[in-house]
């Protein structure tokens, strides 16, 4: 750890520990991974260095009015220059696995040729993680599409799926043997709906038909990439990451119950059905009539190629009622706990979704919770960050995971979002999700009390495993 990292106050952190799970929890199993997650555009910075090309998020965040306070990822956490210290920090907090993403614009030029300097960065990162005994989970696409591909239509252009497969081919050849688990896409729902359906995220387009066609090409790219990954790096496992949402009905009326079901069709089945059943849910196009994507022969077979694991990202639930037609409208609940994002804290939603997926999908693969966490307005006081709400949030959600495991769902690990405070997309730097505080002016890292308690729990588990 270097001078840019404030040392943990471990003794204070473990006093009256409010985090450690009960002895009966499955989380004490040594084969249950506990890790931390990040994403390239949110932490790396160095957007003009060593041959990196512009991404859609460079373009979007530089457009006035698109990101809160005009923030961009140009510097972010400066991880591109501080990666060694950040990995030392990861190790000091006892995390057993690290989920990160590769920046597509950093590793290839416009002609698809490898960028040696960009690839070398990820090789060094992975090699150091291996030296530290940390399991490596690499995401190929966490939203930073090269801008030159968006200029040719982005995910609305079927060719982007084939270019994604080329990218997967290059990375899996270059990094073979260094990655324990590959994830093709992070949250295709966000890429398709927020990027092409309502314009909240890059590239900022807003058309329902765009969203469903972009989703189809994203999932096609996933299937094509999965086949390439299997060929090039057979010892690794392969999966995809889906963000899921729990929908609840505002009343017991049939209309509201159907509205809640359709919320979950739009948020969950839209992605999981093609992956695990080989077809889009018909109810999706009753909700969004006239938005059926162009699907060519063989596409669904490619998309539904078997997965070694499924990554699940969960943050909150949404209470809805019928809109009087085919859809739903949100009805915010009063007097419930919320995070800095305004999202309701509802751990039972994670438990219910996991158990429901187990019932609905006969071929449900093993699951990793690849993101779970919360934003709060954290401040450093006397060298410490006492993030009591986050500690409670994480403990309750881990208890929900434990309940799902005891109900028979094969959940193999949990990654807190995020290791570091970072660029939170359209919300810029205001919303802090990290278990490590980042001072964006000085780049000093300060582990929050949540990080220290997680480290203490993992140390306890290791001690028991070695006894």
Q: Which residues of 263-294 are buried (b: 16+ CB within 10 A; e: fewer)?
A: bbbbbbbbbbbbbbbeebbebbeebbeebebe
Residue labelled with tokens 């999966």: 239
Q: What is the DSSP string of 175-194?
A: STTT-SEEEEEE-HHIIIII
List Cβ neighbours of 263 (8 Å cut-off, separation of 6 or more): 245, 247, 318, 320, 328
DSSP state of 384: B
Pairing state of beta strands 309-322 and 237-249? parallel
CA-based torsion, 159, 164, 165, 171: positive or negative:
positive
Q: Which two tokens stand for residue 325?
A: 């037609």
CA distance to 71, 190, 241, per residue, from 185 (Å) = 25, 11, 6
Residue from 44, 150, 371, 452 carrying the catalytic annotation: 371
Name the region of 38 (left: φ>0; alpha: ψ -120 to 50; beta: rest).
beta
Name the region of 235 (left: φ>0; alpha: ψ -120 to 50; beta: rest).
alpha
CA-based torsion, 48, 51, 57, 60: positive or negative:
positive
Cis (ω within 30 of 0) for the bond into 203? Answer: yes
Look up 292 and say whether it is catalytic.
Answer: no
CA-based torsion, 153, 155, 157, 163: positive or negative:
positive
Contact 99, 84 (CB under 8 A): no
Contact 391, 448 (CB under 8 A): no
Q: Which residues are catalytic?
A: 371
């Amino acid at each position: 750890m270097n001078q840019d990292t404030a040392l943990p106050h471990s003794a204070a952190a473990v006093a009256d520990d409010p985090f450690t799970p009960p002895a009966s929890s499955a989380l004490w199993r040594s084969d249950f991974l506990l890790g931390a997650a990040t994403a390239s555009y949110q932490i790396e910075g160095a957007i003009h260095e060593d041959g990196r090309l512009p991404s859609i998020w460079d373009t979007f965040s530089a457009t006035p009015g698109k990101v809160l306070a005009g923030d961009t990822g140009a510097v972010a956490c400066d991880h591109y220059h501080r990666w060694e210290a950040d990995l030392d920090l990861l190790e000091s907090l006892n995390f057993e696995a690290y989920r990160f993403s590769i920046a597509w614009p950093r590793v290839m030029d416009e002609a698809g040729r490898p960028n040696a300097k960009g690839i070398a960065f990820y090789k060094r990162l992975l090699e150091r993680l291996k030296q530290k005994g940390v399991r490596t989970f690499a995401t190929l696409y966490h939203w930073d599409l090269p801008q030159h591909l968006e200029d040719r239509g982005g995910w609305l252009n079927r060719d982007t799926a084939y270019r994604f497969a080329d990218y997967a081919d290059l990375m899996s050849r270059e990094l073979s043997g260094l990655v324990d688990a590959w994830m093709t896409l992070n949250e295709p729902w966000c890429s398709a709906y927020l990027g092409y359906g309502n314009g909240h995220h890059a590239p900022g387009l807003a058309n329902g038909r765009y969203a469903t066609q972009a989703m189809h090409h994203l999932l096609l790219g996933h299937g094509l990439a999965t086949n390439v990954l299997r060929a090039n790096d057979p010892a690794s496992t392969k999966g995809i990451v889906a963000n899921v949402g729990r929908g609840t009905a505002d009343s017991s009326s049939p209309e509201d119950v159907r509205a809640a079901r359709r919320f979950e069709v739009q948020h969950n089945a839209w992605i999981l059905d093609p992956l695990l059943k080989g077809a889009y849910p018909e109810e999706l196009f009753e909700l969004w009539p006239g938005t059926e994507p162009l699907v060519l022969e063989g596409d669904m077979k490619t998309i539904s190629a078997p997965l070694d694991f499924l990554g699940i990202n969960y943050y909150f639930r949404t209470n809805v009622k019928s809109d009087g037609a085919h859809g739903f409208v949100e009805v915010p609940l009063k007097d419930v706990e919320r995070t800095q994002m305004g999202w309701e804290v509802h751990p039972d939603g994670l438990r219910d979704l996991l158990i429901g997926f187990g019932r609905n999908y006969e071929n449900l693969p093993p699951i990793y919770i690849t993101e779970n966490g919360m934003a709060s307005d954290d401040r450093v006081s006397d060298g410490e960050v006492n993030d009591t709400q986050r500690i409670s949030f994480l403990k309750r959600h881990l208890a929900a995971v434990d309940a799902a495991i005891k109900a028979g769902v094969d959940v193999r690990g949990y990654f807190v979002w995020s290791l570091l405070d970072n660029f939170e997309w359209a919300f810029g730097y205001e919303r802090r999700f990290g278990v490590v505080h980042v001072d964006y002016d000085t780049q000093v890292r300060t582990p929050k009390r949540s990080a220290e308690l997680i480290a203490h729990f993992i140390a306890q588990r290791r001690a028991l495993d070695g006894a």
